Amino acid sequence: MRLPLLSGETNLKTHHCGALTTDQINLKVKLAGWVGRRRDHGGLIFIDLRDRSGLIQLVFDQRNGEKLFALAESLRSEYVVAVEGDLVRRSAENINPSLPTGEIEVHVTKMEVLNRSKTPPFYIEDDLTVDENLRLRYRYLDLRRPEMFNRLKLRHRAVKLVRDYLDSYDFLEVETPMLTRSTPEGARDFLVPSRVRPGSFYALPQSPQLFKQLLMVGGVERYFQIVRCFRDEDLRADRQPEFTQIDIETSFFGSENLFAILEGLMALLWKEILGVDLKLPFLRMPYREAMNRFGSDKPDLRFAMELIDIERLAARSNFKVFNAALSDGGSVKGLCVPGGSSLSRKDLDDLTLLSRQLGAKGLAWTFIEDKGWRSPIAKFFSAEVMDEITEAMGAVPGDVLLFVADRWEICCQVLGYLRRHLAPQGLAKDPHFLWIIDFPLFHYNEEEKRFDSDHHPFTAPRGEDLVFLDSDPLAVRAQAYDLVLDGVEIGGGSTRIHDPETQGRIFKLLGFSEEESHNKFGFLLEALSFGAPPHGGLALGLDRIVALLVGDDSIRQVIPFPKTAAAACLMTGAPAVVDEKQLNELKIMLKVDEGDEEE
RNA sequence: GGAGCUGUGGUGUAGUCGGUUAACAUAUCGGCCUGUCAAGCCGAAGACCGCGGGUUCGAGUCCCGUCAGCUCCGCCA
């Protein structure tokens, strides 16, 4: 690959190292990059010169000049050099078949050391096993590794595909504010103090939700944005305090069109980046079914192990735990672990403990053997019922059955967790996309003793469920949907409320007073009253999608400068104490004891 | 807020039942070496075992606390 902009006499590079091929043989080339491995044979030195494209072998021969050779001897790892030389074909016995540039090498005639380097704290090469602490502290060195550069590149390609694809459907990329106002509900906001109005704060957006709706009222019709979002909550492997969404909103579009557009986008990404053809359309599954069958609103469909309802059979037992759950209006559900006989008694105790921590009162279990059940609870069941349960759960000798009897939500949640926990190892990458639909509009918040939006307060209820809005809010289904891939929620969206009257009713149900609604969402209610079009959209988690495309478990791998689990940046030291002067300007006084502060 | 795992030369690891000199590889530095590509050979230097306290005649090892990283629960409209 020739670099047209870099071919002038004054430039350091005419080619990229890894892009050189036999086509350039006999050319004079100028290269620049980092010194990788150095193989010093005394009178002959080989250097792997690395740039973002890959590496090529440089050769220095003592017989071709002492001065240049002495300079080559002084090179160390990660020195930055510019060289000039002849690209030559290696003799047959010197070809390295494991290197893309293994048939060629550069006989250097001129070299300048552009910069020296301290000995790096870890090797700049792929497949390294080094403490993540170090990688994050020296992230710029970590990024020099080809593996990491390829992640950046793949992310760039994905984003470009998204932009071009949405552009081809007349979506317009529009920017929205980063300094906005804090809204109730949802995640904890990151706050930014106002200097001009002391005591007041901006919030960084958790998502551009309201702005994109206002863009619909503003007549944009098809909007998207690759946008940073901020949530001040505890981190996970797939959660960072700042992350990137592919944010989409449409007017006059309808959710069917939206599904089709999104499925097309996923198909494009998987085809262009992984060469995989996705089967369209994606499966759709109601929330209730996902919970009943898989105990999760983001089920991993790469393996079976479905939860089985055994309420009717449980009712025929003398097991008090089952009977009590049922008479309280709860459920009894089971999970069959194929080959579970390898679980030890301690494993089962651990699973029981885990179930308790997840909210269940306990975990019942039985081994399935040729003769039937081997279980502490076998005595509460007739032989007939035991056989019928075994059959209902599709169990064969060698399996273990796990049961939870509790409120329906607890049964689903706990067994769903155990299902994931006990999933077969080494599941192949096999994209099982699905839409989860028919989410409830609300859930009950035990702590606050009120209803919370399951999605967000701007989600439209399903028209036919509107009649329950006052009588039985929990029965109202939302026009909301999540996009799920192999157990990961990669996006979610909804049709929005577009009339101020319905929006007002929802705010009221959520426990906002008239004044509070007016105060915090007055601008939205007002906007809706000026001819808001029917609209809806969704947001995709870009980091998660890229991580899945790359095959990483953690989104830190695809974020160039991520935060640790304690939300710190090990490279810059953020967050950090600020100067007294800065606080004074903001009229902020810290409540922290002096002794607690660093510095 | 809670639970679990990890922390030993620059890096990756070993270190038994608590026992005296903390081992190995690699990187680093020096020497030899003209076809290596994880170059090779010879030599040198490099650790108060995350930090603090305790038990003990004696602690890398046991106990308590603490810090950092990771994973999970809570949390994440």
What is the rounded CA–CA span in Å between residue A257 and residue A553?
31
pLDDT tens-place string over residues A97-130? 999 999 999 999 999 999 999 999 999 988 878 8
Between CA A263 and CA A533 the distance in angstroms is 24
Read off the pLDDT of residues A9-34 as tens digits, 9 standing for 90 and up.
568 899 999 999 999 999 999 999 99
Cα separation, A355 vs A411, in Å, equals 10
Share of chain A above pLDDT 90, in %: 86
pLDDT of residue A444: 86
Looking at residue A218, its pLDDT comes to 98
DSSP H or E run through A421: helix A408-421
- Nucleotide nearest A46 (Cα, C1'): B36
Rounded Cα gap, residues A367 and A404, in angstroms:
15
Cβ(A453)–Cβ(A476) under 8 Å? no
pLDDT at A225 over 70: yes
Q: What angle do helix axes A408-421 and A345-357 make, rounded to 10 degrees?
A: 130
pLDDT score at A4? 53
Say how far A130 CA is from B60 C1', in Å.
21
- A207 CA: nearest nucleotide by C1': B77
SS3 A483: strand
Gap between the Cα atoms of A579 and A28, Å rounded: 55
Q: Which two tokens stand for residue A18?
A: 């890894």
Per-residue pLDDT band at A428 (split at 50, 70, 90): confident
Question: What tens digit of pLDDT does each residue of A466-495 get?
Answer: 999 989 999 999 999 999 999 999 999 999
Q: Estimate in Å the CA A119 to C1' B20 gap, whole number.
A: 36
∠ CA A97-A103-A105 to the nearest 5 degrees? 125
Give the N- to C-terminal CA distance of chain A in Å, as an integer.
52
Phi, psi values for residue A255, rounded to 5° = -70, -30
| Lowest mean pLDDT, pick from A25-29, A224-228, A426-430 | A426-430
Output the distance from A350 CA to B17 C1' rounded to whole Å.
Answer: 29
Nucleotide nearest to A107 (CA to C1'): B35
Q: Which nucleotides of B are covered by protein (CB under 7 A)?
A: 1, 10-13, 27-29, 32-40, 68-77
CA closest to C1' of B13 belongs to: A129
Which residues have a Cβ under 8 Å from the Cβ of A506 and sit 6 or more positions away?
Answer: A453, A457, A461, A497
CA gap A440, A412 in Å, rounded = 16
**pLDDT exceeds cutoff 60 at A71:** yes
Helix (H, G, I), strand (E, B) or coil at A274: helix
CA angle, A452 then A453 then A456, to 5°:
140
Rounded distance in angstroms from the CA atom of residue A153 to the C1' atom of nucleotide B35: 35
Average pLDDT over residues A327-349: 91
- For tokens 């592919």, what's the residue? A246
Distance CA A437, CA A140 (A): 42
Go through chain A and tell me how many residues it has: 599
pLDDT digits (tens, 9 = 90+) for A287-336: 999 999 999 999 999 999 999 999 999 999 999 999 999 999 999 999 99
DSSP-assigned states of every residue in A150-165 = HHHHHHHHHHHHHHHH
CB A307 within 8 A of CB A416: yes
Q: How many whole angstroms separate alpha carbon A50 and alpha carbon A36?
A: 6
The whole-angstrom separation of Cα A244 and Cα A225 is 10
Q: What CA–CA distance (Å, rounded) separates A116 from A329?
A: 73
Q: What is the DSSP string of A574-589?
A: -S----HHHHHHTT--
pLDDT of residue A595: 42
What pLDDT score was predicted for residue A8?
A: 56
From the DSSP assignment, how many helices (H) and strands (E) are in chain A?
Answer: 16, 22
CA–C1' A540–B48 (A): 52
Distances A265 to A216, A269, A279, A364 between C-alpha atoms, Å: 22, 6, 13, 44
With CA of A232 and C1' of each nucleotide, the nearest comes out as: B76
Tokens of A482: 């999540």
Q: How far apart are CA A141 and CA A78, in angstroms?
A: 9
Burial class (CB in 10 A: 0-12, 13-18, 19+), A242: middle
Strand nucleotide closest to residue A206 (CA to C1'): B77
Task: Determine what percent of chain A is predicted with pLDDT higher than 70.
Answer: 97
Please give the Cα distance from A280 to A48 (Å, whole number): 46
Q: pTM, whole model, 2 decimals? A: 0.94
Q: How confident is the model at residue A427 (pLDDT cuts 50, 70, 90)?
A: confident
Question: Closest nucleotide to residue A88 (Cα to C1')?
Answer: B35
Phi, psi (rounded to 5 degrees) for A335: -135, 130
Closest CA to A548 of A278, A274, A277: A274
Distance CA A501, CA A491 (A): 28
Lowest mean pLDDT among A183-187, A332-336, A410-414: A183-187
CA atoms within 13 A on the CB side of A295: 28
Distance CA A137, CA A147 (A): 18
pLDDT at A11: 83
Q: Write down the ipTM of this complex.
A: 0.93
The average confidence (pLDDT) of chain A is 93
Q: How far is residue A35's CA from residue A74's CA, in Å, rounded to a whole number?
A: 11
Are residues A473 and A406 in contact, defined by beta-carbon separation less than 8 angstroms?
A: no
Alpha-carbon separation of residue A354 from A249, A299, A359, A506 (angstroms): 41, 20, 9, 37
Residue with CA nearest C1' of nucleotide B38: A37
A64: helix, strand or coil: helix
Which residue carries 């300048």 as its tokens?
A: A112
**What is the rounded distance in angstroms from the CA atom of residue A326 to the CA atom of residue A311?**
7
Q: Residue A61 CA to B30 C1' — how many Å?
A: 22
